[in-house]
A and B are shown apart, each in its own frame.
Chain A
């Protein structure tokens, strides 16, 4: 693909009315329409005689005679050069018109393995030596029903076919392969359409319409030509194979790249038409966009702002999630390794901000916990102690013996219950354990019956018995097996709980609101993260491209400085 249109050949057809020819600072000419304020590299010509000339100027077939050795990995450059050139010089000449074809004089000039050999071919032509991104094969597709032939797509979006068996490759598809390629294209397009269904391609349409208005005539010709030459117009939509600017400078041309670029970024389009000479730059840009256009679009759609409060809230959520005690000091929090891996950690920029945020969080959290504790009725220290007694108390042991035996148990060490109380409870229990079973049973049923329905009802289970039951000695006087069955049978006879649990609806709404808020912030953070990544990638790409350009220019200078024996003329 030549990056710039070359000067149109001599003996051109006359310009269409309203168009004027101008010279760009780079040397090539472009055309400007004063009325429509459009400019183009393509020579706008009168419609009637244009068929022939366009036939010559802009062949639509995609394969461009780029360089035979673009992909040294795929096939032997020398071999292909040899078979490539003699076979296909003729058709290219025929289609490509009188402009110079890089590949024709390529083999003499290009270094053997050089990627840009094709472009450097016409090295006496300054324009051709402009910065040109390297092209190399990128994707390989199998062509249906054409076994040895493989369709290779290069980095710049151009395609050629390669015969795996005899290692031949052509930019120009041989007729039998052409059918396969057309079929392949149709499938691809269908796939793409299916994927893109749902998102309207208005943007594309308008951009295309613009271009088409500019070049309606040329396009018509092209369509006709497609019919003539390839017979494939029925299957390919014209936008796919459309060639606008780039076609007339180089006989055969990869189509996809410039087209996509134009459809996606109108400003690009203008720059290109205006002859802002660096098409190579645009190619790189286009390439970048091909990689990143999806995400960029999305980004434009929803650029969620992340306010300071959001950042703080994110960090607080992180603290919540790490389950750190709000009572722990800040240094302890920092020892937590999981903290740094989380991206919410980076929501706040400085350590000081984080510490402040932590302090704030801890204050809130502690307050909340204290409220909770106040709300929750205090767990009677008797309950665990009585449960413990139920397991271990026996009439065989006096209190001092029992205390000594179990002095290491946490229930015995508990300071909430004084020793006096403990002793009293133990003595009472041991006294009760000497009673007869029926008596104990009746005591238990009396205890249960005495409970109000609000505490003890049909929905109560053994685990959720009220504390008034649990702290009573009558409850633990019976062995667990008999007691549990008794309690269960009693509970099953009770009616369900009285009404009064409707207060939770409001709380639930509150919780739901908080969750929604949290999700929103999460999304915003992810968004920001992605944008940063995107920015970084773009930057890197720019850098790489800049480097490439620099290198390119260096090469150019080097080439210019190289003066052979023949002096400047040579």
Chain B
């Protein structure tokens, strides 16, 4: 049985600076809700999760930017955000590595899940694709996230 939620527990305030990014996070939250509730008529089975992946990516990127690029939020707030599931720490961990700066989702570099033990098509640089080839990966609908593009 889950612990009962008392007023005191839920009332613990987020760290300082949360109110600055709160609006943006709320927007992301609303977008996510819309994406979750959107009908998937006529969509392929694998297409259904694309918007979810995209919004997750955007939100993670936003928090990553705020902490690492713009240094707008404190370490405590960043940790709190990660802990509370506002951003995907695994994805952010990949972004810090060279060559993975634009990675769309962690699944796309998971070689164990593919038939030929290779990464997803979206990881292939545009140069190496044939001319005018338009791709969209099955996992998250990414159109190419090679860091060289």
Q: Which residues of A contact B (CB under 8 A)?
A: 325-329, 331-332, 359, 362-363, 366-367, 369-370, 415-416, 419
Contacts and interface: CB of A to CB of B under 8 A. Distances in A.
Given A359-B70, A370-B72, A419-B11, 14 more contacts: A325-B20, A325-B24, A326-B70, A326-B72, A327-B20, A329-B58, A329-B61, A332-B27, A363-B69, A363-B72, A366-B70, A367-B71, A419-B7, A419-B8
A332 B24 contact: yes
B9 to A, nearest CB: 11
Contacts, number: 42
The size bracket of the interface on B is 10 to 19
A363 B71 contact: yes
Nearest to B11: A415
Contact of A328 (B7, B8, B24, B61): B24
B12 A415 contact: yes
A369 B21 CA distance: 13
Q: Identify the 4 closest CB pairs spanning chains A and B, nearest first.
A: A415-B13, A366-B72, A363-B70, A327-B20
B13 A416 contact: yes
Contacts of A363: 69-72
Nearest to B13: A415
Nearest to A407: B7
Contacts of A419: 7-8, 11
Interface in B102-130: none
Dominant SS at the B interface? helix
A286 to B, nearest CB: 53
B65 interface: yes
B66 A327 contact: yes
B23 to A, nearest CB: 7
Contacts of B71: 363, 366-367
A210 B127 CA distance: 67
A329 B65 CA distance: 9
Contacts of A362: 70, 72
Interface string B16-29: 00001101100100
A366 B72 CA distance: 6
Contacts of A370: 72
A406 to B, nearest CB: 14
A325 B26 CA distance: 14
Nearest to B28: A329
Interface in B29-82: 58, 61-62, 65-66, 69-72
A332 B21 CA distance: 13
Contacts of B11: 415, 419
Nearest to B66: A327
* Of B8, B61, B69, B70, most A-chain CB atoms within 10 Å: B70
Given A362-B70, A363-B71, A366-B72, A329 B13 contact: no
A363 B11 CA distance: 31
Nearest to B17: A370
28 contacts: A325-B20, A325-B24, A326-B70, A326-B72, A327-B21, A327-B24, A327-B66, A328-B24, A329-B24, A329-B58, A329-B61, A329-B62, A329-B65, A331-B58, A332-B24, A359-B69, A362-B70, A362-B72, A363-B69, A363-B70, A366-B70, A366-B71, A370-B72, A415-B11, A416-B13, A419-B7, A419-B8, A419-B11
A328 B21 CA distance: 7
Nearest to A415: B13
Contacts of A327: 20-21, 23-24, 66, 72
A405 to B, nearest CB: 16
A420 to B, nearest CB: 9
Contacts of B21: 327
